[in-house]
C-alpha cells in the first residue's frame, strides 16, 4: 500500500494492505502444486494425494492481552489452525504442531495456564498436538509470547473460498464482532465488558455437519478473522468474480457488541471473529444447511445474510433496509494484535 521501505503495522491487519504486502513479497516463494497452493491465498494449502487431499496450514498468534474474556492465546492458537483446516473442508485434523517463542521473565504459572487451555481446546476439536519447538528470547526482544501452530489433515473433497456463483446464498454461523471487541475492551480497560466475550472455538464439528447437509452444494468457506465479515466477503466476492448483497438487518450481532461498536465508532462487520464461518451454498440446499448448523451448539444463531449476484463483481453491497451502499473493505489497522 505505502511506498515506504519499511513495513507498517496496517500491513499485518488482515485487510487490503496486508494482501498487497503478501502479493508483493511472499508470492515470490510460490511454485506450482497439484491442488491449491500459495498463489490461491486461501486459508491453507491442499495437495492431491491419491484420491484424497492433504490439507496443510500454519498460523502465528500474538494477541495482546494474552488472557481475554472467553479465551487466551493458547485456545486461540489451537482453534485458529483447526479452523483454517476446516475452512478447506478438512474436519478431521491428523496432528498439530506447537512452536512457542517466549520472552525471558515470562510467568511460569501463565505458561502452564496457556498449556492447559491448549490441551482443552485440542480435546474439544479432537486434534492432537504431535510435535513442537521452544525458544526463549531476551527480555524486550519480543512482547511476552508468540505461539505458532501448524496442522495437517486429509479430506475427501476440498472447499475453497473462491467457489461462489450468482444465486448462491451466504450463511454466517453466528454473531459477528465478539472476539475483536472483547479483546479491545479488555486491552484498553474500557469497562464495557459486561457480556462481551470472545467466540474463540474450534469449528470443525460444525463444519462437519454443514458439509454432511450441503454435500456438493456447499461451495465456499472462509473464517472471518482479521478484517471481520466485511473483509471475508470482499475476498470471496473478489476471488469468485461475483457481487455480494449483504442484508444488514440479517447479520446476527449481540446487543453488547452493537452497543460497544456504536460507542467506539467501530462497525462490528469489520471486527475479527475466532469461532465463526462464512459459508456459501447453492440456493436449493441453503435452508437445509442452515438448519443443520443451527442444530449444532456453536451455530444456534446462524443466519442467511446475503446472496451472490452479478451486480458489481468483486464488491459487497450493503442493503441497510432503507438504502444501499458499497461496503468498504477494511484497509488496515482497526485493532492491532487481536489474534
Partner 1 sequence: MPAPDATGQLKFRDPGRARALSAALDRLADRVGRPVTLMHVCGSHEQAIARFGLRAALPRSVDLLMGPGCPVCVTDLPEIDEAVALALQGKVVATYGDMLRVPGTRQSLGDAQAEGARVEVVYGVEQAIALAGRCADQVVFFASGFETTAVTTAAAVLAGLPENLSILSAHKYVPPAMEIVAQIPQSKVEGFLAAGHAAAITGWGLFEPFAARHRLPVVVAGFEPLDILAALLRLLELVAEQRAEVVNLYPRCVTREGNRNALATLWKVFEATGGRWRGIAEIPDGNLRLRPEWAGIDARRRFQIDVSHLQRAGVAPLTDQCICGAIMSGLATPADCPLFGGACTPDSPVGACMVSSEGTCRIWQHYGGRPDIGKVG
Q: Which is nearer to partner 1, 120 or 326 (CB)?
A: 326
Least spacing, CB of residue 181 vs partner 1, in Å = 15
Of 294, 317, 336, 337, the one binding partner 1 by CB under 8 A = 317
Q: Which is nearer to partner 1, 124 or 319 (CB)?
A: 319
Stretch that binds partner 1, among 58-66, 136-144, 192-200, 325-333 (CB under 8 A): 325-333
Q: Which is nearer to partner 1, 4 or 134 (CB)?
A: 4
Least spacing, CB of residue 324 vs partner 1, in Å = 4
Of 7, 22, 25, 326, the one binding partner 1 by CB under 8 A = 326
CA atoms of 240 and 64, how far apart (whole Å) = 34
Q: Which is nearer to partner 1, 59 or 329 (CB)?
A: 329
Residue 208: all three cell numbers together: 462437519
Of 20, 99, 319, 337, the one binding partner 1 by CB under 8 A = 319
Per CB under 8 A, 325 contacts partner 1? yes
Nearest to 142 by CA among 94, 105, 181: 105
Of 48, 188, 300, 324, the one binding partner 1 by CB under 8 A = 324
Of 92, 312, 314, 337, the one binding partner 1 by CB under 8 A = 312
Per CB under 8 A, 188 contacts partner 1? no
Least spacing, CB of residue 251 vs partner 1, in Å = 12
Q: Which of residues 33-72 bind partner 1 (CB under 8 A)?
A: none
Q: Indicate if the alpha-carbon torsion angle 219, 224, 226, 228 is positive or negative.
A: positive
Tell me how many residues contact partner 1 (CB under 8 A).
19
Q: Which is nearer to partner 1, 107 or 320 (CB)?
A: 320
Least spacing, CB of residue 312 vs partner 1, in Å = 6
Per CB under 8 A, 6 contacts partner 1? no
Binding mask 261-290 for partner 1 (x = CB under 8 A): ----x-------------------------
Q: Which of residues 234-263 bind partner 1 (CB under 8 A)?
A: 245, 249, 255, 258-259
3-state secondary structure the chain: CCCCCCCCHHHHCCCHHHHHHHHHCHHHHCCCCCEECHHHCCCCEEEEECCEEEEEEEEEECCCCCEECCEEHHHHHHHHHHHHHHHCCCCCEEEEEEEEEEECCCCHHHHHHHHHHHHHHHHHHCCCEEEEEEEEECCCCCCCEEEEEEEEEEECCCCCCCCCCCCCEEEECCCCCHHHHHHHHHHCCCCCCCCCCCCCCCCHHHHHHHHHHHHHHEEEEECCCCCHHHHHHHHHHHHHCCEEEEEHHHCCCCHHHHHHHHHHCCCHHHCCCCCCCEEEECHHHHHHHHHHHHCCHHHCCCEEEEEEECCCCCCEEEECCCCEEECCCCCCCCCCCCC
Stretch that binds partner 1, among 40-48, 58-66, 175-183, 317-325 (CB under 8 A): 317-325
Q: Which is nearer to partner 1, 151 or 309 (CB)?
A: 309
Report the interhelical angle of 283-294 vs 204-214 (nearest 10°): 140
Residues that bind partner 1 (CB under 8 A): 245, 249, 255, 258-259, 265, 311-312, 317-326, 328
Amino acid at each position: 500500500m505505502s511506498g515506504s521501505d519499511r513495513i507498517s503495522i496496517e500491513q499485518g491487519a488482515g485487510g487490503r494492505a496486508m494482501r498487497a504486502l503478501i502479493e508483493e513479497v511472499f508470492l515470490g516463494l510460490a511454485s506450482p502444486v497439484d491442488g491449491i497452493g500459495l498463489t490461491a491465498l486461501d486459508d491453507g494449502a491442499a495437495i492431491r494425494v491419491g484420491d484424497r487431499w492433504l490439507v496443510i496450514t500454519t498460523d502465528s498468534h500474538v494477541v495482546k492481552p494474552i488472557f481475554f474474556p472467553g479465551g487466551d492465546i493458547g485456545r486461540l492458537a489451537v482453534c485458529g489452525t483447526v479452523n483454517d483446516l476446516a475452512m478447506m473442508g478438512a474436519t478431521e485434523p491428523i496432528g498439530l504442531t506447537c512452536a512457542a517463542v517466549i520472552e525471558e521473565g515470562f510467568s511460569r504459572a501463565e505458561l502452564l495456564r496457556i498449556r492447559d487451555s491448549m490441551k482443552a481446546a485440542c480435546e474439544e476439536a479432537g486434534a492432537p498436538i504431535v510435535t513442537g519447538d521452544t525458544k526463549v528470547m531476551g527480555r524486550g526482544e519480543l512482547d511476552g509470547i508468540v505461539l505458532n501452530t501448524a496442522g495437517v489433515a486429509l479430506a475427501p473433497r476440498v472447499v475453497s473460498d473462491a467457489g461462489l456463483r450468482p444465486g448462491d446464498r451466504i450463511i454466517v454461523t453466528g454473531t459477528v464482532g465478539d472476539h475483536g471487541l472483547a479483546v479491545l475492551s479488555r486491552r484498553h480497560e474500557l469497562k464495557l465488558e459486561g457480556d462481551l466475550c470472545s467466540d474463540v472455538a474450534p469449528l470443525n464439528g460444525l463444519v462437519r455437519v454443514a458439509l454432511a447437509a450441503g454435500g456438493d452444494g456447499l461451495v465456499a468457506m472462509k473464517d472471518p478473522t482479521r478484517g471481520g465479515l466485511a473483509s471475508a466477503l470482499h475476498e470471496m466476492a473478489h476471488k469468485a468474480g461475483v457481487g455480494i448483497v449483504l442484508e444488514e438487518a440479517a447479520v446476527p450481532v449481540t446487543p453488547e457488541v452493537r452497543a460497544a461498536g456504536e460507542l467506539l465508532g467501530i462497525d462490528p462487520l469489520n471486527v475479527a471473529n475466532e469461532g465463526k464461518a462464512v459459508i456459501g451454498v447453492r440456493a436449493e440446499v441453503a435452508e437445509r444447511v442452515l438448519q443443520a448448523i443451527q442444530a449444532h451448539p456453536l451455530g444456534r444463531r446462524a443466519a442467511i445474510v446475503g446472496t451472490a449476484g452479478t451486480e458489481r463483481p468483486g464488491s459487497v453491497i450493503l442493503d441497510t433496509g432503507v438504502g444501499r451502499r458499497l461496503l468498504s473493505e477494511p484497509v488496515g489497522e482497526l485493532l492491532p494484535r487481536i489474534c
